[in-house]
């Protein structure tokens, strides 16, 4: 992500001026890891804007892939608000707090469970994906339509919530099993079994497809 001016303009044209301490932070804290920034934000709340600046794009993309554009910005914003309010309890010692944020975002996605499932079922039935439609050229979408995408969507739509969460945190957020366990607040063994079962369901759903149909390009 490129560095940006410490002034933000939202879609309604409102300009948000970053506080002076954040401007300083943006200039000086890029070397600080997230844990350090969050710790500093306890006494200087404006520092937390650095966390949002670093990770808003990744969280927004993850939520968009799950829920579509309509709900994504709401949920992504709420993710950071929850994180801000709970930052005193942040216990991560790693360089970035993305796993923590992904965990919060995942729980917030649960409020949209029916909508998420409905969109997956639509993709499964029709091959048209309402989530990616805003980002996909219509002709491209027709050319690259494949049997794999609806099958994956069908399998995902049938997964119980904990399995879907764990699987998507692995596949879309690139979290390790250990990070998923910490992000979702369950034991490592539970994560392993959830992903195992989810993968098994996916594998069965795709079982009768010709391997030649499963090229990476088929999904794009």
Partner 1 sequence: MNEIELLASLRDEVPLTASTRVESAVLTEIAASRQQAADGGRRHRAPRPRRGPAFRPGFRPAFRPVIAGVLAAAVGAGAYAGVELSGIAGHGGAYTVAWSGRPAAQWPSTAHPSYGRATSETQLITYVTRAAAAMPGRAPKPDEWVAVKTESAHSAEGEGGYLFGPPDKRQIDLAWIRGDQCASASLPSVPATTAPGTTITGTLSVMTTGYYGPGCQGTTLGGWKSVTYSYLDSLPTAPAALEDVLAQNAGPDFAGDRSQVIFQAIDGLLDAGETDGVVVPPKLSAALYRVLQQLPGVQFESATDLAGRQGLGFFMVLEGYYKLELVIDPYTYTYMGFKDVAVRDHVMTGTDGTRYLKQGQVLGWAALLGQAIVEGPGQLPG
Residues 78-117 that bind partner 1 (CB under 8 A): 78, 80-82, 84-91, 103-104, 107, 110-115, 117
d(CA 208, CA 212): 12
Place of tokens 């079922």: 121
Phi, psi torsion values for 23, nearest 5 degrees: -60, -45
Please select the residue that binds partner 1; options are 136, 145, 147, 177, rule is CB under 8 A.
136
Please select the residue that binds partner 1; options are 35, 45, 96, 127, rule is CB under 8 A.
45
Question: How far is Cα of residue 39 from the mean position of the Cα atoms in its chain?
Answer: 24
Q: By CB under 8 A, what part of segment 56-75 binds partner 1?
A: 56-61, 64-65, 70-71, 73-74
Q: Which is nearer to partner 1, 31 or 212 (CB)?
A: 212
Q: Which is nearer to partner 1, 29 or 167 (CB)?
A: 167
Q: Which residues contact 127 (CB under 8 A, 6 or more apart)?
A: 145, 149, 150
Contact 105, 168 (CB under 8 A): no
| Minimal distance, residue 70 CB to partner 1, in Å | 4
| Minimal distance, residue 31 CB to partner 1, in Å | 21
């Amino acid at each position: 992500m490129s560095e940006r001016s410490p002034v933000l303009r939202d879609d309604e044209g409102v300009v948000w001026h970053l506080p002076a301490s954040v401007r300083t932070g943006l200039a000086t804290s890029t070397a600080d890891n997230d844990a350090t920034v969050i710790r500093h934000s306890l006494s200087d709340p404006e520092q937390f804007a650095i966390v949002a600046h670093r990770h808003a794009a990744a969280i927004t993309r993850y939520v968009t892939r799950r829920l579509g554009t309509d709900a994504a910005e709401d949920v992504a914003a709420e993710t950071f608000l929850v994180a801000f309010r709970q930052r005193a309890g942040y216990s991560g010692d790693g360089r970035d707090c993305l796993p923590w944020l992904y965990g919060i975002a995942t729980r917030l996605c649960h409020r949209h469970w029916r909508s998420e499932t409905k969109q997956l079922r639509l993709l499964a039935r029709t091959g048209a994906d309402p989530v990616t439609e805003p980002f996909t050229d219509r002709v491209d979408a027709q050319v690259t339509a494949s049997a794999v995408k609806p099958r994956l969507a069908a399998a995902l739509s049938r997964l119980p919530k904990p399995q879907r969460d764990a699987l998507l945190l692995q596949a879309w957020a690139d979290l390790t099993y250990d990070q998923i366990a910490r992000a979702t607040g369950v034991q490592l063994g539970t994560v392993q079994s959830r992903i195992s079962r989810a993968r098994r369901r996916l594998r069965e759903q795709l079982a009768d497809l010709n391997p030649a149909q499963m090229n990476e390009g088929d999904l794009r």
